[in-house]
Amino acid sequence: MDRLKLGARGVLWLVTSTVAGAVIMGLELAAFRLYAPYFGYSIYVWGTMISVVMGALAVGYALGGWIADRDGGERSVYYAILASALYQLVIILTVHALLQSLSAAGDFVGTVAATLIIFAPPMLALATVPPLVTLLLVRSLRVGAAAGMVYALSTMGSIAGILATSFWLVPHFGTMMTLEVICAVSLLLGIFGLVAARPAVLASLPLLLALPLAPGARYPTDTVEVAESPYNFLRVARRGEVLVLFLNADAAQTVRLEAGGRTGYYYDDFALGPLLVEARHALVLGLGGGGSIGAARSTAPGLEFEAVEIDSKVIDAAVHWFGLRLNDPLTHIHVADARRWVAGDIGRYDLVQLDVYQGSPYIPFYLVTTEFFSLLRMRMANDSLLMMNLFDVSEAQDLLLATVATLRTVFPAVIVKSGFRGSHMLFAFTRTRSLESARRQLQGAPIPGATIGMRELIPPAATRIFTDDLAPIEQMTRRMLFGLRR
C-alpha cells in the first residue's frame, strides 16, 4: 500500500537518495587514487582520508536534519546536489595544482588538508540528501518505513558506486575522467530535480561543457609516458641516456641505461645471485621494469625465469621502455598477485628475487611474514637462495632488523649487503652459509664492489617477527620516513 502512495515524485526522491549514495562512494574511491602521486599509497593516507570524509558526512547528515526541520522542501534536496556538482566542477579545474602545493605537507597533514578542501564540501552537501528525502517521504509513508527505505537505497547506491568506480570507471577511463563523470551525474540530477519548479536551472547545462577543459596534471619535462592502472599511476622519465620508471610517488622502481650496463642502483646486486648458488630456474616476484632479470642475466645468460607482476600496465612499460621481451623463450611472465601465485605454483626454484613495493617505500605486509616466507621456502630447491630488496634509511634500522629476524625463522642463513641511500639486499639461503664463504665465492666476480657492505646481521632477541596476524610494516616505514624528513 505504501508504494502506491509514493507517486512519481516519491520514486524520484528515492532514486535521488540512491544516486547520492553512489556519488559519495565514487568520490571517496577516486580520492585515494588521486592522492597516490602526491602522498603515496599507504594505509595512513587511506585512513586519514576516510576519517575526514566520515566527519564531513556526519556534519552533512546533521545539517540535513536541521534544514529539514526548518524548510523541508523538495528544492532543498536538489539545491544541495547542484551545489555539490558546482563545487566538484571547480575542483576538477584546479585539483592538480592544489595537490602539488599540498604534497610537501606529508601524508597526514597533506591528506587532511586536501580532503577538507577537495572532497569534504561536496560530500557534506550530498550527505544532507537522506534526511531531507526522509522528511519528504513521511507525507506518504510511516516514519520508520520512510527512513529505512531511504537509508537502505542510499547504501545500495553506495555499493553500486564502489563497484562501478573500482571495476569500471577508474580502470577503463582513469581518475580524472571518473571525477568528471561523477560531476556530470551530480549536475544532471540536480538540474532534473529542479527543472519543474525552476526552469531557469537549465541554464546550468552548458557547465557540462567545461568538464573536458579540465587541465591535466603537470609532469616534469623529462616525462615520456604516463599511464594509470587499477594498481598504480605510472610515469616513465628519460634523463639523458637513463630511463626511470616511477610508480605512484616519486620513488624510482626501475632504472635502465639505454646503452646497457650497470646502473649504480640496488638492481645491480641481483647479478650476485647466480654467483652464490648454481641456478637454472629463477622466480621473480615484483617484475617492475625487469631490471632484476637483466642484472641476473649478466652473470647467468641462460637462466630461465618465471616472473610475476600484478600490474599489466607495468609490464607494458617494461616492454616498451626497458627492454623486456615477451617472446623470450627463457622468460615467462604471469600477471598475478605474488602470494596467490606462489600458493598455486608447483615449481621448484634455485633463485628467487623478491622486490615488491606499493609504488612507494611501503612493502605489502603479507609479503614479508613468516607464513609467506615458509610458503616460498616450499617452492625452493634444497640449495637455493632468496634475494630481497629492502629500503630502510633509519638509524635504528627497525624494519631491516625485523625483516631479517623474520627470514631467520625460515632460512638457516641470512646475509645483508647494505648499499647507499638506505638500500639493503638480503640473501636468505636454504642451507647454512657463512659470511666468509659467501665472500670467497664472490672474490674475482666480474662485478666491482661485489662484497662491499656485506655483513651478518644478528637481530636482538626481542626483535619483532612479522606474521600474517601482526606485521606493522606501514607503521615502521612511516616512522622511518618521518625521521628522514626531520
pLDDT for 186-199, tens place per residue?
999 998 888 866 76
- Average pLDDT over every residue of 63-74: 86
Can you give the pLDDT at residue 484? Answer: 66
- Average pLDDT over every residue of 23-47: 88
- Average pLDDT over every residue of 247-257: 80
Can you give the pLDDT at residue 237? Answer: 93
Q: Name the more confident of 263 and 126.
A: 126
Cell numbers representing residue 117 in the block: 578542501
What's the burial of 452, exposed, middle or buried (CB within 10 Å: 0-12/13-18/19+)?
exposed
- Reported residue count of the chain is 486
Averaged pLDDT score across all residues of the chain: 89
Q: What span, in angstroms and rounded, lies between the C-alpha atoms of 281 and 254?
A: 23
Cell numbers representing residue 357 in the block: 613495493
- Model confidence at 2, pLDDT cuts 50, 70, 90, reads very low
Domain ranges of the chain: 2-213, 262-485
Q: Are 129 and 77 in contact (CB under 8 A)?
A: yes
3-state secondary structure of 138: coil
Range 262-485: architecture per CATH: 3-Layer(aba) Sandwich (3.40)
- Model confidence at 3, pLDDT cuts 50, 70, 90, reads very low
What's at 374, amino acid-wise? S
Q: What is the DSSP string of 217-275?
A: PP--TTEEEEEE-SS-EEEEEEETTEEEEEESSS-EEEEEETT-S--SSGGGGGGGHHH
Q: Are 318 and 287 in contact (CB under 8 A)?
A: yes
Torsion of CA 82, 88, 93, 95, to 10 degrees: 160
- Residue 390's DSSP bridge partners are 424
What's at 178, amino acid-wise? T
Can you give the pLDDT at residue 201? Answer: 67
- pLDDT of 238 higher than 50: yes
The per-residue b/e assignment along 235-270, b for 16 or more CB within 10 angstroms, e otherwise, is bbbeeeebbbbbbbbbebbbbbeeeeeebebbbbbb
Can you give the pLDDT at residue 200? Answer: 63
pLDDT in tens, 304-358: 999 999 999 999 999 999 999 999 999 999 999 999 999 999 999 999 999 998 7
Cell numbers representing residue 1 in the block: 500500500
Lowest mean pLDDT among 138-142, 239-243, 253-257: 138-142
In the numeric block, the cell 561536496 is attached to 122
Q: Are 427 and 442 in contact (CB under 8 A)?
A: no
Q: State which H helix or E strand residue 362 sits in.
A: none
Can you give the pLDDT at residue 5? Answer: 62
Can you give the pLDDT at residue 320? Answer: 94
Q: Name the more confident of 215 and 81.
A: 81
The strand pair at 423-429 and 349-354 is best described as unpaired
pLDDT in tens, 279-317: 999 999 999 999 999 999 999 999 999 999 999 999 999
Could you tell me the sign of the dihedral formed by the alpha carbons of 130, 135, 141, 142, in that order?
Answer: positive
Can you give the pLDDT at residue 285? Answer: 97
Q: What span, in angstroms and rounded, lies between the C-alpha atoms of 133 and 138?
A: 9
Can you give the pLDDT at residue 1? Answer: 40
pLDDT in tens, 367-407: 999 999 999 999 999 999 999 999 999 888 999 999 999 99
Can you give the pLDDT at residue 41? Answer: 75
Q: State which H helix or E strand residue 332 sits in.
A: strand 331-335
- pLDDT of 54 higher than 90: yes
- Model confidence at 359, pLDDT cuts 50, 70, 90, reads low
Q: What span, in angstroms and rounded, lies between the C-alpha atoms of 214 and 119?
A: 17
Can you give the pLDDT at residue 4? Answer: 45
- Average pLDDT over every residue of 240-267: 83
Listed residue (213, 217, 190, 212) closest to 201, CA to CA = 190
Q: What span, in angstroms and rounded, lies between the C-alpha atoms of 10 and 82?
A: 19
- Average pLDDT over every residue of 155-164: 95
- Model confidence at 262, pLDDT cuts 50, 70, 90, reads confident
Top CATH class of 2-213 equals mainly alpha
- Model confidence at 259, pLDDT cuts 50, 70, 90, reads confident
Return all residues near 62 (Cβ < 8 A) that are at least 6 apart: none
In the numeric block, the cell 600496465 is attached to 313
pLDDT in tens, 100-132: 899 888 888 999 999 999 999 999 999 999 999
Torsion of CA 60, 204, 17, 125, to 10 degrees: 0
- Model confidence at 267, pLDDT cuts 50, 70, 90, reads confident
Can you give the pLDDT at residue 418? Answer: 94
- pLDDT of 204 higher than 70: no
